[in-house]
Amino acid sequence: MSLGLELQHERAFLRRLDSVAIRELPGFVRGRHRMPTEHGRAGDLFVQTLVEPALADEVRVVYDAAKRVLGLRRRQLQRAIAVDGGNVEAPQFHYVIEICLDPADISRALWRRRVIPLLAPRALPIEFDEVFPIACDELVVPLVKPRTIGVAERFDLIVERLEDFTAVHGGGVEEDEDQARASLTTHDGSRIALDLGTHELSLRMLGVSGCRALLLEAERRFAELTGPIVSGLGADARA
């Protein structure tokens, strides 16, 4: 499947986004805490302070699991925790967790979890995803920003190619021109979404989660789109 897009395969990552009601966050106490009234730094800091212990616990869980599951030693790992997030770095992956107000709903907070793979999926142990307590559920590939074509014209071309695909193979296309977003859902439950505002292509597959499984299944179903990601990771490992 070709969408005629220039993808930055070398910057691909796995992601999980979870929107949670602020009142359900650990640390929120009814009657003591006031809900944010507007988006901004103060609101982000409010939810970040609420979940600071929970966020630190998750970073610690990933760090400890990386040692246990991957057989790593302390000197092979780095971890950091700050008010707005935390991360773990290992030879096989980089892990990042962040939280902020949900841009779509001020009464909710948005968890962002990312895993950047550094090895090809077949080079990872089958138990690799046991490292992460919450599994990623989408593969994200950044788009190269075009210099010679506007967003509106580019959006028209993308939607046309998605509709060409469904005319031959079936499925459905959804579009939101105001937000510059379009998506294709296939008969097997896969969903390819394009966001020209954030310059991202994201791929979800029904019933598939976890970094290793996502990469392998994406390569099988969408070789033209995702094959360069896997081959690039393999080349990095051999270098």
Q: Flag whether pLDDT at 153 surpasses 70.
A: yes
pLDDT of residue 1: 56
What's the pLDDT score for residue 222?
A: 79
Average pLDDT of the segment spanning 8-12: 88
β-bridge partners, 111: 18, 99
* Mean of pLDDT values over 46-69: 96
Reported confidence tier of residue 166, pLDDT bands at 50, 70, 90: confident
Residue ranges covered by each domain of the chain: 9-144+199-238
| pLDDT for residue 24 is more than 80 | yes
How far is Cα 59 from Cα 79, in angstroms, rounded to an integer? 7
pLDDT of residue 3: 64
For residue 234, the model assigns a pLDDT of: 56
139 close to 214: Cβ distance less than 8 angstroms? yes
What distance in Å separates the CA atoms of residue 9 and residue 120, rounded to the nearest whole number? 13
pTM for the model: 0.89
According to the model, what pLDDT value does residue 238 have?
A: 40
What span, in angstroms and rounded, lies between the C-alpha atoms of 196 and 235? 29
pLDDT at 239 over 90: no
Q: How many CA atoms lie within 13 A of 70 on its CB side?
A: 24
Which of 58-67, 140-149, 157-166 is the least confident region?
140-149
Q: Which of 80-84, 165-169, 215-219, 222-226 has the lowest mean pLDDT?
A: 222-226
pLDDT top residue among 227 and 106:
106
pLDDT of residue 64: 98
Residue 116 CB partners (closer than 8 Å, separation 6+): 13, 14, 93, 94, 95, 96
- pLDDT class for 191, splitting at 50, 70, 90? very high
3-state secondary structure of 178: coil
Picking from 201, 21, 194, the residue whose alpha carbon sits closest to that of residue 110 is 21
CA dist 92 and 78 (Å) reads 12
Nearest CA to 135 out of 109, 111, 156, 110 is that of 111
Calculate mean pLDDT across residues 131-157. 87
Counting Cα atoms < 13 Å in the Cβ hemisphere of 27 gives: 13
